[in-house]
Structures are given as C-alpha cells and as structure tokens.
Homo-oligomer: A and B are copies of this chain.
Amino acid sequence: MNLEKYLEANKNLIDSSLDEFLPGAQETPAVIHDAMRYSVFAGGKRLRPILVLASAQAVGGDPNKVLPAACALEMVHTYSLIHDDLPSMDNDDYRRGKLTSHKVYGEAMAILAGDALLTLAFEVLVDHTKGIDPLKVNLAVVELARAAGSMGMVGGQVADILSEGKRITGKDLEYIHRHKTAALFGAALRMGAILSHAEQWEIDSLSNYALHLGLAFQIVDDVLDVTGEAHRLGKEPGGDIKNMKATYPSLYSIEESRARVSEEIEQALGSISSLGPEADPLRKIVNYVGTRDY
C-alpha cells in the first residue's frame, strides 16, 4: 500500500462525511453553523479519524461503518482546539495559517461553537452509526466521553494550564501528554475496534499502540515548535516557549527527545505485532508520525 494515497483517500472520505453530518451553514442560527464549519474545515490532516478507520480495518471490520465515530472524534478534537485557542487559555490568533475562531466570530460564539461541536459529536456517533449492535455503540460513547473528559483530555488541558511558567518534572509532563493528546488517540483506536466487534486482546493491543503513538506524536509536535518554520507550522514557532508551556524539549535535549520518539515508535509497532497485514496502515502511520520533518 501507498501511505500517501491511503491518507488522502481517507481524508477525502472523512471530509465529505463531516460535510454531511454538520448542519448546513444556512441553518438557523446561521452564525453558529458557519463558525462550526469554519473550524472543522480549517485544514486538519484528519489523523485521528483516519486512525478510527484504520483500527476497524486492522481487526477485520468495515471502515465505512465507523465513519460516524471517526467524524465524532474529529468534532471533539476541533472543539478542543477552539477552546484551547481562546484568550483565557492559549490566546492564539492563528492556527494552521488561519485566524482562530474567536478572532473571526468573537469569544462568545467561539465558546458556543466548541460547545455545539462537542454535543454534536455524541449525536453523530449514536444517530448515524447504523447496523452495529447498540450495546457496542453505547460502549463507544463511554470511550469517547472518558477520553475527552476531566480524567482525559480536559484533565490534560487543566494540568497544562496549571504548569505554565512553573518548573515541572518529567512525570508531570508525561501526565499532560498522556491526557491532553494520547487519550483521544486511545479513543480513536478503541472505538474503531469496539464498533468492529474486536476481541479484548485486540482492543488492548490497539490501546497500547495508541498510547505510544500519541506520545510520539506529541513529542514530535513539541520539537517542531522549537525547530520548525512558520510557513510549515501555520503559525509562528516558539509559541510554547512564549507561553512558558511544559514541553519535552524544555526538559530534555532535542537529541533526547528524538531518541524518545524512536522508542515510542518501537513500542507502538510492538503493541500490534500480533495483528495481521490488515494492520499495515497503522504500522505505516506510526512511522510517518515519527519521521515528520522535525
């Protein structure tokens, strides 16, 4: 398989499903639906939803059946970006080279657009998932809510905010990365597998894969913020330093950070070594994440 083609084909599939599942930009009240669509279609690479599809495929399931779960996850991810960018949080004016939601729609609408995307995620996950045992859909709802909630992604964002400007330990940083980033990767892999009636050992393997992939992804992201160029990042590099954010390279050297990425990649690959060739997209994705130009 050619990974670039795989990613592009699935990105297109997800984009058209998101377009279908989101209320039209003219639905009343138009401004909120416009704001929701603005951020959802602001140029994301759709890595998380692609992982939902790849997870279904890895356990012999039908990726098309988990498209609603994939879109739900992307909506949760988008809501988290909108709220993270707010003036009272990271106060970012740009993301992926475009003005952030609150710069375009004002703070109140940005908060509400995030709220509405989070809410719509659960509606889409349940209402559009057809032909799957309703008990499995229930389990997927719980996975998504746990990964996104106060013991998951929101908990990681809280710890991130509390750490700003403070000296933190490697353990604190790992907590932030595991919750703020890896939790949603976990939901991606677990939802894809659960909705495909995977066995428990498969779900466990994919969960471990998700954790290591998520950590690798976040460390690469942190390093790119130091070494990257503005036109490739879609924003000015050095934002983490400016905001006195806890990052991997602020605790370890760039060399150490790169070594840790290699370790996480090895562990991610090892986690799914018992899965067959259906898991090859997952194997290629982890290598791709680990070798982004950083």
Contact = CB atoms under 8 A, between A and B. Distances in A.
B150 A126 contact: no
B120 A122 contact: no
Interface stretch (A155-163, A208-216, A262-270): A155-163
Contacts of A127: 142, 145
A222 B175 CA distance: 46
A7 to B, nearest CB: 29
A141 B129 CA distance: 13
A278 interface: no
Contact of A150 (B32, B158, B162): B32
Contacts of A157: 112
Nearest to A145: B123
A93 B227 CA distance: 44
A90 to B, nearest CB: 9
A20 to B, nearest CB: 16
A79 B150 CA distance: 13
B106 A32 contact: no
Contact of A123 (B126, B142, B161, B175): B142
Interface of A: 23, 27-29, 31-33, 36, 79, 83, 86, 88-89, 106-109, 111-112, 114-116, 118-120, 122-123, 126-127, 133-135, 137-138, 141-142, 144-146, 148-151, 154-155, 157-159, 161-162, 175
